[in-house]
Every structure is written in C-alpha cells, then in structure tokens.
C-alpha cells in the first residue's frame, strides 16, 4: 500500500525532535483519526533555518511530517506557505486514497507554525 | 532484523496445514468433477463433500444434515441473520445482539434495520464479556433472533453462549452464534450449547480461505441466501468449492483432535507474553478479560503510540501482528470493540493484537518481548504528547 | 470399455489448467497472508488480488475498479439482481428476463417477485434465441432491470445482448448479462456490449471452483450483497479467497489469449459431432440454433430414450456428459430450457448435452459416434413406446 | 448416488422383453417424471412362471423393474401382490431419496398386470 519512499521516510524520519526557544511552534490534530503533529521552526531573516517535528500517528503521518520538514528547510516563509499537501504527497510518490488526509496534517502544521511565528513577531 | 517471519496474526488468518492441502490437491487436479453430475467423476466429488460434511458434523456434535457449506464466515453470518430475520418476520421484527460483534454480523443487521427491523445492541462489561441478564432484559414480545459471538476476534473474550441460548429458548427466540474465532480453539458442542445457528470459516483453523459453513439446527426457519441450483439440498446454490470444502473438513477434523494440546500450549505462551508485556512496558493495559479469553489471544493498548506505526515497525523486525487503530482501518474509526469496553479513542488507537498459532515458540515470545519495548519507546519519543 | 475418461461436460465444469494451479500454489502455501493486513505477508496477498483484478478487467475491456470478486457465478447473479433491484426500487419494480436463464438468475428473481417486484419472462424463439423486439415490447414505465444471459448453458445459444443493451440504455434501464458460459468461448467486451453488469465463474474456463466475479459499470446503483468487512472497496465483504482469485485471473488471461484458436478447434469438432449424430441416429433433433451457438456445445434429443439412463451407459463407456432429463435433476421436471424452445416433456426427457474442451480430440468424437448409436439402440429396445 | 446393486441391475437388466400372448399385461406411467413401464406375465395355476418388462426411464426405474421381475418369478399371485416398493428398494440396497418414487412404478406395474390377468380370467 505504501510506496518505498513513504516507508523509507517512516523508518528513518528526518528532523525528529524539538527546538528549544523555537521561533514558531504549533501542534495540530487530525480530527479524522485523532493523530497529532507538533512542528518547531527556527527562522532567521525570513528563512527557515531549522525545523523539527514530533508526530503521534500512522506511517503516512510520520512520513509526511518527515518529508515536509525537508521540503521547507532553507526555504523562505513565503515559499514554505506555498507547499500544499498535494506537493507533499507527490514528493512521497503518492499515498493510498484513504491516507490522503494524513498529508493534510503536515500542511496544516507548517502553516500553523509559521502563523505562530508571525504572531510572535507582531507582538514583539 | 530477523530473516524468518514470526507470524502473530492467527486471528486474521492461518496458513493451510500440510495434511489439509494434501487432501485438497486431488480436487484441484484430476478429481475435477462437478458434484451435481451423475458420472463417476462427479460422484467422487460428491462423496468428498459428504465426507467433509460428516467431519464438520462430528466436530460440532451436529447431525450431518445440519451442516451447509458457504464461501466463508461472512456469508455464513449474512445468511444466518438475513435468512432467519426474513423467514420469521411474521413473528416479529426485533433482533438482539452485542456491541462487540464482527462487522459480518453488524453490517447485515444495519441492513435489516434499514428494511424495517429493530436491533438492540447490548453493551458488554468492561472485561469484554456480555452479561446474559442484560440480554434477557432486552427481550421484547416481538424479539425473533439473538446473535452473540462465541469468541471475540479482537480481544478474544469468550461469551456465555450457553446461558444466553437457554434464555432464548425459554422465549422461543432463534439464537445464532458467530464461532469463526472459536472453532479450533475451544471445544464446541452445538447440542450442549443449545444454539440454532453457528457460523465458521476454514481459514481461521488452518484450512483454506473462501470456504465456511453454517450449522442450522433441524427445524430452524430460514430462507436460502444464495439462490439458484439445487446444491446443498436446495438451501445454498452454486457449484461447490470442492477442494475448499475438502480442506475445511480435514482442517476441522485435525483441529478437533488436537484441541486440548493446542490450547494448553498456546495458553502458556500467551500468559508468558501478557506477563512480559505488562511488566516490561509502562502505560499499557490488557484489553479483555484476563482469563475468559481464547488461549491464543493477547490484546494490549499502549498510550502515546499509534497502532499502524507500531505494526509497521514490528514488520521491519519480521513480526506480523494486528491493531484496532483507526489508521489501519479504511474507516478511520478506531475499533468499535475497544470503544465498547470503554477505551478512550486515543488509547484504542494504540492497540496491538497478538494472536498465536501452533508454530509459535517460546523463542518467538522472547523475541517479541525484546523488540516491542524498543519500538514502543521509539514511537513514544516521537510523540508530542509523551513526557518521559 | 476404455480406461481413460473422455470428458464431454465442460459446461458443468472444467479441470484447472496446470499453469493456473501453479500460480495458485504459493497462495495455498507460504503466501498465506490476509490481504487486509498491513505487513509484508498481507501486502503480497493484496498485490496478487490486484493483479488478478487487472487481468479480468483487461479480458473484458473493463476498468480495474469495475471488477469485484465473488464466490462464483451464483453469487454474482444473486448480487447483480437483488443488489440492483433493491437499490433502484424507488424508480420502479418491474424486471425483464427470458425463459431460458440459469436458475442462478431465475430463483433470485422468484424471490424478488415474492417481495413485491414483478418479472416478465420473455419467451425465446424455437431456435433458443430471444428476439430483442420482444424485450422491447415488454418494457414498461417502471422497468428497472433487464437480465439476459450471454450464452445458454444447456443449448449454447448466443443471445443478442448488444441489441438488447441498446434498447435498455435508450430507456435508462440497468442491463445485466450472465456470461458464465460465454467467458473463454467468445470474445467479450463490456464497453462494446454496452452492459452494466456481467457475471462470470472461474471453473467454467479452467480456473478453480468457488470463485467468480461481477463486473459493475461505474455509476451503477447497486447494494452490497455480502456485508461485513471493508474488502473489495466496501462492496463485497469476507476474507478473500486469494488462491482462487489468483487462479481466476490467470485462467481468464490464458482463455482470452487463446480464444480464437480454441474456438475454431472446438467448433470443428462440434460440427463433426453434430453431423455425425444427425446422420447416424434416427428420431433425433439438435436443440438450439445450428450456428449461433457456443463453439463447444451440442445438445440433442433422442426420442424413446431417457437421459439419465443414457448418461449412465455412456459413463460405463468412460464418457462423461450431461442431460436435461427430469430424472437427472432433483426437481423431476425436465429442463425448463428445452421446454421453453417448444419440446414436449417426453422429448426433453431424452436429451444429451455434449460440451467440448481443449483436451478433446477427433478420436474422442469418433469414439462417441461409435458407442452412442449402440447405446441409444439398446435403450430404445427396452422402451415400451419404441417400435423398431 | 446409486448402490452397486442398482448399477448392476441397470447394466444387466434381467427379464427384458415381451411375452407374446401374455396372461397379464399392463403399462404404467410415472406422472412425476414421465417414465413408462410395461410388464408382461405368464401365469400357470396361480403361479407366475414367466415375466418380462420394458421400461423407458431412469437408472432406478430400470433397476427396480429388473429386480421386481426377479422377485415375483415363481411366486404365487398372492405372494406377488404383497411385494411393496419398499421391499424392492431394500432388495437393491436402497435408493437415493429423490429416486424413491421410481420404485413405486415397479410395484404399480406388478399390481396392474395381475389385475389385468384377474380381469381376463373373470371375462373368460
Ligand atoms: C468473529 C468473526 N466473524 C466473521 C468473520 C468473517 O469471516 P470471513 O472473513 O472468513 O468471511 C471473521 C473473520 O474475518 C471473524 O473474526
Ligand atoms: C449460465 C450459468 N449461470 C450461472 C451459473 C452458476 O455458476 P456457479 O455454479 O459457478 O455458481 C452457471 C453454472 O453452473 C451457468 O451455467
Ligand atoms: S494520520 Fe491517522 S490515519 Fe494517517
Ligand atoms: S422413474 Fe424417472 S426419475 Fe426414476
């Protein structure tokens, strides 16, 4: 059911962990299945210089978290905001139909973490 | 990573036993006759089916004419429920079942609800066993059918069918039991249980997939479900899956002969497993009654862990197991059975079902007890909710 | 008496081809995983099923998602008819079929009549073929379903399904065809035929018994028939008969590849047989159209002869064949198909169906043409009605 | 389905044929399946000294005809009248349930042929 790429990212997830004093942090939950993803961003001059995640969820949830962090690392905020769950799914060589919703979690986590960063900036 | 697969998912399916396949092979090769035909090739096939029927009857203490072959547990359940509900709708339209039945029972009942029947889903106790008194209380004037499984497929709990059948019989209500998980694990005697209908499926006891049987007590009012030719004494049409039926017959014969030995071996392994997991891992619970469960079933919930991930990591270690996690099911709902025994969805999400079989050894259990704690830790470390 | 069996009953069932069994064996042995599971063993089983689905789709020119596996032709027919009738009963309650359908179609329709549907049985012409105009005339405002077989199992006549489907589509009526006898004998293209549902059964084309498929055109309103687990995209529950499905897939692939060669070989043998019987024996008729029939089917009626006796004597000569005699059927009615083409019951009684297969040779036909006249004479001499 | 005994009688039926100027003759038909049996008796001093039959019918019909003729040959009329389809069936080591009606044909044919003889006697 899962592509080789999904399994590879699931087994060796990149960027797992936390960032202390992260510039942006957000935790999102998947109402459909109860899975939870937390994303930490370190941002310098509008560029995501470091990113970490923690995920409680299925293989697809972990794999999409992992590849999403890879995709945004080194990108500007604007670029990162453009990453859709479709792009994440494609980067993983696809997901089974009943697992497409899992990739939404990754998109949401990125957006929410950036929003958190922007809010913090405003309130500085 | 081990090379060999350690198979811990015998409730999902079992491999076909060598002796079973050997008896099937002639019917997949030279003995290809259609059992409905009159010449020798057909008569041989017919004889093989009748021998299988005799073996099933013997294993269940049923009469030979009370055994009908089907395409599996699902067909047996569909037939039992829809067939009796429709044949007895002049008497009433109320059906009683439990909240922990297999979907092969629940979904036909949902369909019957749509076409005018009413179904009461009796909740089970926190140990996963239904209280016969609650069944009794659910009975109405117009109750025509009670369906309660003999053993649960997820948590392995064994239900008090004999007591429930007695209650049903006092009120002349038809009683069906889904014994798909029980056959080959615990002794079954349909006369002693006092039931009218019993479903079974060969691939759960080292027989082939796609063949099952329905026991129908003589005199039970039931409509045919598959209609067509005159096979199975006009009650179940379709050219017989001869090889499959032969396999079912042989498999149930062997299962019944080895029952005690098999059960006591597995129970010992199961208890070692349960004790090991409960002592080695934190934030874990055993689902289902500690003792009144199938000898081969252990079902745990680990907090801060998601079942599908757990299975995938076990798979990389060569271990095949199962989970009631929403993420493994197409439906995205965690197991209705785990919810029915009172688990929170998050906890149900982190469940692991280990079901043992005759090839499993103490070393298999040791190996699982070695890798499982590591895997659980690894996943918990990735979880945003877990604080070590 | 010959030692070897000459098998002339391929319409009843066929032996499993060697290449087919070879592909099945892994799924009867080490590849025993349940396709619904997530670990490697399960994924392999799932892959095997999806390959089979692809092969079936290709053979029929269907889309992959339009193929659903069942336990055989009977289940496919039951599902197609009951599933569409119930799903479309808000639109109407009238169904059209013919008088020569298999019992796997007729009996579900009888059941639907009992629960409030109306069925028109359109008679066939004396050659055993239905006139599409008569189907058209039978259509009413409330007609929701037409079911006409692609080829008849007794007399082998091929029905004008394409014309009938066109008529059905003009009126937005669902059209089902029972192609159980046609698959592997004549080319089938569901898109070209323009049908919504098509039933097939593996054991009729050198695949295993107890497995079939239903083609369901995308968008066709149909209820599930076997309800339970989420298999077959929630449309057909039950642990899959993996080995059987693999066998079906391989068998249809081979059948489709060899179709032309197979058909032209059998047609030649069939014509030799028909010419031989008609010229060598008196008081005989060929049942069903001389030309618009399956390449492997010949069906005769001999006056002053009873079919079961004929079969038993052929059996002693090592020949396996079939009859529409009342005496061979449990029901004691002679074949409804032979009556539908206008035969008197006495004549229907003396029928013989020879259905050829790929292992049959010219010598087999010669042998039959040698022993059949003797046997017919012997029986006629015993008949109180025959005056030689 | 058929016992060895049935098959043996079917394959080698005894007493097939006709008796010219028979003392009792009767043809009976099985309304259930359309089969036909004709029985010829030669009777001397109340004893059946010869019997022949012709049958158009299934294996069971032919086998029961055959064994029934054997059972009555040499018997008195009274003894022959006592032979039931049950006795015929038992003599064949049984018949499949859906073939029990075939044996009725044999019993009826015997009775009808004896009746024909008795009627002829009366009218002499
Ligand atoms: C309790 C129970 N009932 C019914 C079934 C359905 O059996 P099958 O999948 O063989 O149709 C199963 C297994 O899947 C089961 O565990
Ligand atoms: C035309 C036709 N339809 C349906 C069936 C039923 O198929 P099965 O016996 O495989 O269920 C048959 C064969 O028996 C058939 O010939
Ligand atoms: S996130 Fe739970 S199913 Fe994928
Ligand atoms: S007499 Fe016709 S079925 Fe036996």
Ligand nearest to the CA of B238: 2
Q: Give a yes or no: residue D124 inside a domain.
A: no
pLDDT score recorded for residue D114: 96
Over 50: is that where the pLDDT of C380 sits? yes
What are the pLDDT digits (tens) for A78-105?
A: 999 999 999 999 999 999 988 888 889 9
pLDDT score recorded for residue D39: 96
pLDDT score recorded for residue A34: 78
Residue to mutate, A101, A104, A108, ligand 3, most ligand atoms under 8 Å from C-beta: A101
Interface list for A 61-120 with B (CB within 8 A): 61-62, 98, 101-102
pLDDT score recorded for residue B331: 66
Provide the Cα torsion A6, A7, A12, A13; round to 10°.
30
| Structure tokens given for C266 | 């059998």
Q: Which of B264-278, C96-110, C276-290, D101-115 comes out lowest in average pLDDT?
A: D101-115
Instruction: Inform me whether the C-beta atom of residue B230 falls under 8 Å from chain D C-beta atoms.
Output: no
What's the mean pLDDT when you consider all of chain C? 96
For helices B307-316 and B362-382, the axis angle rounded to 10 degrees is 130
Q: Is the dihedral of CA B125, B127, B132, B138 positive or negative?
A: positive
Say if ligand 3 is within 6 A of residue A71 CB: no
Average pLDDT over residues B158-171: 98
Q: Which of C86, C281, C320, C327 is catalytic?
A: C327
Give the three-state DSSP class for C200: strand
Least Cα separation, residue B239 to chain D (angstroms)? 18
Ligand nearest to the CA of C181: 2
Residue to mutate, D38, D65, D102, ligand 4, most ligand atoms under 8 Å from C-beta: D102
**Cross-strand bridge partners of residue C145:** C95, C174
Confidence at D116, pLDDT banded by 50, 70, 90: very high
Residue C327 is a catalytic residue:
yes
Q: Give a yes or no: residue A25 inside a domain.
A: yes
Residues 6 or more apart from B308 whose CB is under 8 A from it?
Answer: A58, A59, B323, B325, B327, B328, C38
> CA–CA separation, B12 vs B153, rounded Å?
8
pLDDT score recorded for residue B351: 95
- How high is the ipTM of this complex? 0.94
Over 70: is that where the pLDDT of B330 sits? no
pLDDT score recorded for residue B277: 98
Q: Give a yes or no: residue A49 inside a domain.
A: yes
What are the pLDDT digits (tens) for A20-74?
A: 999 999 999 876 677 899 999 999 999 999 999 999 999 999 999 999 999 999 9
Least Cα separation, residue B234 to chain D (angstroms)? 13
Is residue B100 within 8 A of residue B151, CB to CB? The reply is: no
Instruction: For residue C69, report the distance from its CA to the centre of ligand 4, in Å.
Output: 39
Instruction: Inform me whether the C-beta atom of residue B334 falls under 8 Å from chain A C-beta atoms.
Output: yes
> CA–CA separation, B143 vs B149, rounded Å?
18
pLDDT score recorded for residue B2: 42
Ligand nearest to the CA of D63: 4
**Side-chain half-sphere exposure of B125, counting CA atoms within 13 A:** 15
Q: Provide, rounded to the nearest whole percent, the portion of chain B with pLDDT above 90.
A: 94
Q: Is the dihedral of CA C218, C219, C221, C224 positive or negative?
A: positive
What are the pLDDT digits (tens) for B103-117?
A: 999 999 999 999 999
Instruction: Inform me whether the C-beta atom of residue B215 falls under 8 Å from chain A C-beta atoms.
Output: no
Ligand nearest to the CA of A109: 3
Least Cα separation, residue A35 to chain B (angstroms)? 8
Average pLDDT over residues D28-42: 87
Closest to C331 (Cα-Cα) out of B237, B233, B40, D62: B233
| Structure tokens given for A72 | 């945004």
Burial degree of B290 (CB within 10 A; 0-12, 13-18, 19+):
exposed
CATH number, residue A52: 3.90.1010.10
Chains in contact with C, where contact requires at least 3 CB pairs less than 8 Å apart:
A, B, D
Interface list for B 15-44 with D (CB within 8 A): 38, 43
Q: Give a yes or no: residue A122 inside a domain.
A: no
pLDDT score recorded for residue C148: 98
What's the mean pLDDT when you consider all of chain B? 96
Over 50: is that where the pLDDT of B261 sits? yes
Nearest chain C residue (CA) to D2: C312
> CA–CA separation, A79 vs C370, rounded Å?
86
What are the pLDDT digits (tens) for C42-56?
A: 999 999 999 999 999
Residues with CB under 6 A from ligand 4: C 327; D 30, 33, 35, 57-58, 60-61, 99, 102, 105
Top pLDDT among B271 and C330 is at B271
Confidence at B3, pLDDT banded by 50, 70, 90: low
Q: Give a yes or no: residue A38 inside a domain.
A: yes
A-B Cβ pairs (cutoff 8 Å, strict): 65
Residue to mutate, A10, A38, A95, A99, ligand 3, most ligand atoms under 8 Å from C-beta: A99
For helices B18-28 and B242-257, the axis angle rounded to 10 degrees is 160
Over 60: is that where the pLDDT of C217 sits? yes
Confidence at B293, pLDDT banded by 50, 70, 90: very high
Count of domains for chain A: 1
pLDDT score recorded for residue D1: 78
Confidence at C286, pLDDT banded by 50, 70, 90: very high
Over 70: is that where the pLDDT of B1 sits? no
What are the pLDDT digits (tens) for C112-134?
A: 999 999 999 999 999 999 999 99
What are the pLDDT digits (tens) for C52-97?
A: 999 999 999 999 999 999 999 999 999 999 999 999 999 999 999 9
Task: Out of B74, B228, B308, name the one closest to residue C237 (CB).
Answer: B74
pLDDT score recorded for residue B179: 98
Please, do chains D and A touch (3+ CB pairs < 8 Å)? no
Instruction: For residue B12, report the distance from its CA to the centre of ligand 1, in Å.
Output: 8
Range of the domain at D109: 4-116
Q: What global pTM score does this model have?
A: 0.96
What are the pLDDT digits (tens) for C5-48?
A: 999 999 999 999 999 999 999 999 999 999 999 999 999 999 99
* Unique residue bearing structure tokens 């997830």: A13
Instruction: Inform me whether the C-beta atom of residue A31 falls under 8 Å from chain B C-beta atoms.
Output: no
Is residue D3 within 8 A of residue D94, CB to CB? The reply is: yes
Q: Which atom of ligand 1 is nearest to the CA of B202?
A: 10
A-C Cβ pairs (cutoff 8 Å, strict): 3
pLDDT score recorded for residue C239: 97
What are the pLDDT digits (tens) for C150-206?
A: 999 999 999 999 999 999 999 999 999 999 999 999 999 999 999 999 999 999 999
Residues with CB under 6 A from ligand 1: B 72-74, 77, 102, 104, 149, 153, 178, 180-181, 201, 203, 212; C 228, 238-239
Going from the C-alpha of A114 to that of each of A43, A57, A81, C260, C367, the distances in angstroms are 9, 22, 8, 65, 86
> What residues of C are in contact with residue A98 (Cβ under 8 Å)?
none
């Amino acid at each position: 059911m899962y592509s080789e790429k999904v399994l590879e990212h699931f087994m060796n997830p990149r960027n797992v962990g936390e960032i202390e004093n992260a510039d942006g942090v957000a935790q999102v939950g998947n109402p459909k299945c109860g899975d939870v993803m937390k994303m930490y961003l370190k941002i310098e001059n509008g560029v995501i210089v470091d990113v970490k995640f923690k995920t409680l969820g299925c293989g697809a949830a972990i794999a999409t978290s992992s590849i999403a962090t890879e995709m945004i690392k080194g990108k500007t905020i604007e670029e990162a905001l453009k990453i859709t769950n479709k792009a994440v799914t494609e980067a993983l060589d696809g997901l089974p139909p009943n697992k497409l919703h899992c990739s939404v979690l990754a998109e949401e986590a990125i957006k929410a973490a950036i929003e958190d960063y922007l809010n913090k900036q405003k309130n500085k | 990573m081990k090379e060999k697969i350690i198979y811990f998912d015998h409730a999902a399916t079992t491999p076909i036993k060598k002796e079973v396949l050997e008896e099937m092979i002639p019917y997949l090769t030279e003995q290809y006759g259609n059992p409905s035909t009159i010449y020798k090739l057909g008569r041989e096939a017919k004889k093989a089916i009748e021998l299988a029927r005799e073996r099933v009857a013997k294993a269940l203490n049923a009469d030979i004419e009370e055994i009908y072959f089907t395409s599996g547990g699902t067909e047996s359940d569909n037939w039992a429920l829809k067939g009796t509900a429709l044949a007895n709708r002049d008497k009433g339209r109320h059906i009683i079942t439990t909240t922990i039945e297999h979907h092969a029972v629940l979904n036909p009942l949902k369909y019957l609800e749509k076409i005018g029947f009413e179904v009461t889903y009796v909740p089970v106790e926190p140990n996963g066993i239904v209280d016969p008194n609650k069944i009794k209380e659910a009975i109405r004037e117009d109750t025509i059918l009670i369906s309660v499984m003999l053993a649960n497929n997820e948590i392995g709990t064994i239900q008090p069918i004999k007591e429930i059948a007695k209650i049903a019989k006092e009120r002349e209500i038809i009683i069906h039991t889904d014994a798909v998980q029980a056959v080959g694990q615990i002794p079954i005697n349909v006369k002693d249980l006092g039931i009218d209908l019993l479903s079974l499926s060969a691939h759960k006891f080292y027989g082939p997939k796609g063949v099952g049987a329905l026991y129908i007590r003589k005199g039970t009012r039931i409509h045919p479900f598959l209609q067509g030719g005159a096979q199975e004494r006009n009650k179940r049409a379709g050219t017989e899956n001869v090889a499959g039926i032969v396999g079912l017959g042989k498999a149930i014969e062997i299962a019944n002969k080895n029952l005690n030995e098999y059960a006591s071996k597995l129970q010992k392994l199961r208890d070692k497993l349960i004790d090991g997991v409960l002592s080695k891992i934190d934030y874990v619970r055993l689902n289902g009654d500690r003792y009144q469960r199938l000898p081969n079933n252990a079902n745990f919930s680990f907090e801060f862990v998601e079942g599908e991930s757990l299975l995938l990591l076990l798979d990389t270690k060569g271990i095949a197991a199962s989970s009631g996690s929403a993420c493994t099911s197409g439906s995205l709902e965690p197991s209705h059975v785990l919810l029915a025994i009172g688990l929170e969805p998050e906890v149900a999400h982190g469940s692991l079902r280990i079901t043992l079989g005759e090839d499993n050894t103490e070393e298999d259990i040791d190996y699982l007890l070695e890798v499982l704690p590591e895997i659980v830790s690894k996943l918990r470390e990735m979880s945003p909710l877990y604080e070590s």
